[in-house]
Amino acid sequence: MRKGLQNLENSENRNYKILAVDDEEGIIDSLSIFLKRSGYEFTGVTNPEEAIQKVKNEHFDLMILDFIMTPFHGDQVVEEIRTFNKELYILLLTGHKDLAPPLETIKRLDIQGYCEKSDKFDQLLLLIESGIKSIAQMNEIKKINEELKNTNEKLEKAYLESIQTLRFTVEAKDSYTRGHSDRVSEYSVLIGKRLNLSEEDLKILKIGGLFHDIGKIGVPDSILLKESKLTDDEYSEIKNHPSIGSHILSTASIFQDIIPIVKHHHEKYDGHGYPSQLKGNDIPYFARIAAIADSFDAMTSRRTYRDSLPIETVIAEFERCKGTQFDPEIADIFLDILNNHFDEIKEIQEKYK
């Protein structure tokens, strides 16, 4: 049965074309053997200029790119490719972490991930598998988007249906995400109402909350469902989910309003969050609201490794972290809800037990 599942997986992988670029012939040969064995359609080149031309003239789903190459480096290759192709999923290989390009460059060029070169390809395969899952969802969203150009009424209906379809895909992987996303959505709207936001803004908060963890579709199940403590590498994979989610949604114009929530709900007010280390008012406003709703639900939900925290502890934590983790003004609004209108919180919790 295991062999049958592997054959099925390899068969599905044949739908995806991977281009590898490395000026070392031996690396290309090794990747060729490794990825073809995994079922992917593989092309390898040693010349960066040839790679750029191939991306211009052929379709590839994912590129594996060496950083240090001649006649120019991998970030220069990406710089050129991004002038005509914004969607190609790119993974960067580095000889050593110290030789990786600056984080600012990686973000600016929308490089989805990078890892060090190794005799083993386990970490690279993990990144590829996550990338392929993201690409599959992007392709599905493109398909949906192409079908949504008739009337505004049909657009709205299909928009909501597509959100539910993709959200249920995530929920099927992680039962915690199911009630969590619903509650984060409603808590966000509750805060938004106290902030006197418009109905349109409340709708963005609602949908953004439902969809904020969609990037977990690109996190391997072995990590997402692990009950024991995560390793540093595994935690790094988990921390990729906001960027994965925003990348999944980026090709569809109908999702643009919620992307800031999806991408930045783990930023911290003092700039020590992720994925972009944004600080203060640089963090999108709706993402600051969702961050409070998300953290509250995480603290008050029972997990495999701990029970839910008492509400007194939660209140004390929000008091302690306002101005560092949380926007202090929004945190004060939420603290007022917790202290004086907790019946509204309890109603949401009862609704999504």
Active site residue 216: yes
**Cβ neighbours for 30, distance < 8 A, ≥ 6 positions apart:** 121
Tokens for 271, please give them: 């700039």
Residue 32 lies in a domain: yes
**Cβ of 23: how many Cβ atoms within 10 Å?**
15
**Same domain, residue pair 199 and 344:** yes
Q: What is the pLDDT of residue 237?
A: 86
Q: Are 273 and 295 in contact (CB under 8 A)?
A: no
pLDDT digits (tens, 9 = 90+) for 264-292: 999 999 999 999 999 999 999 999 999 99
155 and 118 together in one domain: no
Please check whether residues 159 and 192 belong to one and the same domain.
Answer: yes
- Domain boundary among the residues 136, 164, 195 is at 136
pLDDT tens per residue across span 116-172? 777 677 788 888 888 888 888 888 887 777 766 555 566 666 766 776 777 777 777
- Tens of pLDDT, residue by residue over 22-61, are 888 888 898 898 888 888 899 999 999 999 999 999 999 9
pTM of the model: 0.62
Range of the domain at 320: 150-351
Say whether both 189 and 216 belong to one domain. yes
Task: State the catalytic residue, choosing from 216, 263, 268, 322.
Answer: 216
Whether residues 176 and 248 fall in one domain: yes
Residues 227-235, mean pLDDT to the nearest whole number:
81
Give strand ranges (E) for 209-267. Answer: none
Judge if 335 and 261 occupy the same domain: yes
Last residue of a domain, one of 107, 136, 165: 136
Alpha-carbon distance of 187 to 3, in angstroms, equals: 45
**What's the domain count of the chain?**
2
CATH number at residue 79: 3.40.50.2300
CA distance 178 to 204: 19
For residue 12, pLDDT beyond 70:
no
255 & 319 share domain: yes
Same domain, 205 and 316: yes
Predicted confidence at residue 94, as pLDDT, reads 80
pLDDT tens readout for residues 61-92: 999 988 888 788 888 888 899 999 888 998 88
Q: Examine the domain organization and report whether 98 and 240 are in the same domain.
A: no
Q: Which of these three, 111, 136, 161, is where a domain ends?
A: 136
Same-domain check for residues 189 and 293:
yes
pLDDT of 329: 97
